[in-house]
Amino acid sequence: MDKVIIEGLQVDAMVGIYAFEHEQPQPLIIDLVMAWDNRPAAASEQISDALDYDRVSTAVAQLITSQPWQLIETVAERIAAIVLNDFKVAQVSVKVAKPQAVAAARQVAVMIERHR
């Protein structure tokens, strides 16, 4: 199966378990690897045959900004559900990174893989 990849999608979110983390948005960095058959789009050159990565990115950003979150694990699961259900992707890997979570680390992240 082919892959469509979105790397480094930055979305500001209200996320964290501490009250101070909900005082102002902080960045989450999202990476997606989606299983998708690219042959129909390559043959037709029609966006209707492709996995529209702009629409996926917009849906992910809207989800993340729609509410405050406690855990990036929950964010990852909800992203996976949207990609699988709304975009009919067969399999998705989701990485959600929180750069400001640990001062001594460049970032912390969770990565999940889900399929239909």
**Catalytic annotation on 3?**
no
The DSSP annotation for the chain comes to --EEEEEEEEEEE-B-SSGGGGSS-EEEEEEEEEE---HHHHHH--GGGS--HHHHHHHHHHHHHTS-BS-HHHHHHHHHHHHHHHS--SEEEEEEEETTS-TTSS-EEEEEEEE-
Q: Which of 3, 88, 95, 98 is catalytic?
A: 98
Task: Cite the active site residues.
Answer: 98
